[in-house]
Amino acid sequence: MKLSYRFLPSCAAAAALLLGLAALTTTSCSKRDKNAAAPAGTSNLLLAEWAGPYGGVPPFDRVKVSDFKPALEEGMALALAEIDKIAANPAPPDFENTIAAMERSGRALDRAATVYGVWSTSMSTEEFRAVEEEMAPKLAEFRDKVMQNPRLFERIEKVYQARKDSGLDDDQQRLVWDYYTDFVREGARLTAQQKTQVAAINRELADLYTKFSNNLLHDEESYVLYLAADQLGGLPESYVQAAAQAAAERGRQGKYAVLNTRSSMDPFLTYSTERALREQVWRTYYNRGDNGDTYDNNSVITRILELRAERTRLQGYPTFAHRAIEKQVAKTPEAAMELMMKVWPAAVARVGEEVADMQAIADREGAKIRIEPWDYRFYAEKVRKEKYDLDSREVKEHLELNKLREAMMWAAGELYGFRFEPVSGVPVYHPDVRVWEVKRNDRHVGLWYFDPYARPGKRSGAWMNAYRSQHRLDGGETTIVSNNSNFVKGAPGEPVLLSWDDAETMFHEFGHALHGLAADSTYPSLSGTAVARDYVELPSQINEQWLGTREVLNRFALHHKTGKPMPAALIDRIEKARTFNQGFLTVEFLASALVDMKVHTLADLSGFDPDRFERETLAALGMPRELPMRHRMPQFSHIFSSEGYAAGYYAYLWADALTADAWEAFAEGKGPWDREVARRFYDHVLSRGNTVDPEIAYRAFRGRDMDTNALMRDRGFPVH
């Protein structure tokens, strides 16, 4: 039972789980064989072996919220009994009776936790949230009972000390190192009193992570702007239809709903000619979790940071960030900051140029305004059209959801040999979810679930997660992965048209899925996406690149009415505008990443106030006033609804530097569809998981270390 994290909040706006649950699973892949025999004597559906085709599938269609508490409680008891048996084994510790035994343990609990995670992110209700609040501290306590078990750690330590002389292969040595390092980081060497303190901190943090998530979900669900027909100026017809459908679903027939999610907010700010409404939508969205009411997250944030700092001191690290990054590719906060600050000045300078272009148009049109944050997207669109003759609405007419899904699958086949075949009869948790079988070289690889639409009870953003990770232990398992988005569903029979950014997000998350599907590991703890945070985004971010290739656009960017391919002249304009708005996109992201790193390297939290810290930090950085952080602290789920990306949001930039350098490898070859380069990427990156150090894996693919100047070139920034 390797205790780590499950969900990828890479993922454009990743879903995060409470600490206790997250600790049961890996970065985005389950660590254990979920299809072992059901525990003797249990009747709980969630603990039982998965039945059905493809090696068994989750019983989503039979789940009741009332199943979760007893399943988790019984699953924890069963898992602890297995741990105690390993720890009490009278035989001398070795890889098989300690490390491999850990890999095999906790299977029933993992099955329950997998389904529990899906409900947390995609099917949440008031009834379920009550269960979450009750179970969060219990799950955290369970985690500590494992990580603080002295007899268990003693065995792990002895295997670790003897690993180089025990005849272990490279994968086994890597797995031993991973277990040992995680136990030490969690405080296995602390005194009994210190362990008690850490356990109490973890229980309180689990409560706080759940509270943060539920507060944010409340604001996303509760704040809906309903428009009348005379307030729709500038909005594309596809948006209007989707807004009408969203309003009807909420009992407001004849109105048009602007939801408090990025997928609804972003196009409204881009197209609406109603400036006062743009400001209202902007403020509502960026004030999520920061409204001074019962659901305000500022006091939650303060307490989370205090507890993290206290626990970090007990664990022997100077700051939380130092502990969080030591197992990442960057290794230190200083290295992460160095890359961010290499990019920041050029990005800020580019924002200045972008704002000047916008202001010139506003002045020429006689708007008599100064560009404000709620104007940025609106006037950026005007600049795009003026400079590049590129209208994002024209582009959107060619980006239909289902055709883009087909495009992703086709590209994965051309590059890596994957084939996707739709299947029926597999249980799903919502009617919107569809399932495909994935094959490679006519061999079953796994299943891919797709859940594309926003709905009440589903957290915002987009993410990938795995219900089962590939491994070869004890006969092995194939993987089951999912991609989850929050596109606004259109009226029946109407196409769902996506912006270019949303289309990139689809390709991004699908890259994570391919990473899981390509997994080829003996041990589930080392499989697929169970890699460093600043490396896990490489497969997803490079997958975005194929969206813009002519081969994909010519085949799949078909006009939703005429069915005609995107005109070559339009593709030319898209390519010409490739680095357009990079100032906004880079600064918006980096502001959040820098605030995350700076808050987690604070040595003194006395008198800490999140709003003040955010304002002062951005001011010191020279944050342009015309745009906000991508994620303000009260809504920053990546770092406050779990620890998945805490002091790790920089990881997207680090992986983007890897991505830019990796993409140049294709350019140096025969182009985007160079199958030899794709083969090297598959063999050394996609399929290797965590069986080898990421730096070594990347070097094997690229033939050298990463060149960070590739990132500057990719974004159109000057290289010094």
Helix/strand/coil (H/E/C) assignment for every residue in 140-198: HHHHHHHHCCHHHHHHHHHHHHCHHHCCCCHHHHHHHHHHHHHHHHCCCCCCHHHHHHH
Question: CB-based contacts of 606: which residues, under 8 Å, 6+ apart?
Answer: none
**Rounded Cα–Cα distance for residues 604 and 84 (Å):** 39
- How crowded is residue 596: how many other Cβ atoms within 10 Å of its Cβ? 26
**Rounded Cα–Cα distance for residues 102 and 1 (Å):** 5
**Rounded Cα–Cα distance for residues 86 and 102 (Å):** 8
**Lookup: tokens for 48:** 């039982």
469 in Cβ contact with 35 (< 8 Å): no
**Lookup: tokens for 174:** 């890597």
Question: Residues with catalytic annotation?
Answer: 509
Which residue type is seen at 572? D
User: For helices 651-668 and 333-364, what crossing angle results, to 10°?
Assistant: 80
Q: 452-488: b or e for each residue (b if 16 or more CB lie within 10 Å)?
A: bbbeebbbbbbbbbbbbbbbebeeebbbbbbbbbbbb
Cα→Cα distances 485→451, 493, 515, Å: 6, 20, 18
Cα→Cα distances 118→111, 112, 128, 458, Å: 11, 10, 11, 10
By three-state DSSP, how is residue 464 classified? Answer: strand
**Lookup: tokens for 447:** 């299943």
Beta bridge partners, 471, equal: 477
**Rounded Cα–Cα distance for residues 18 and 205 (Å):** 8
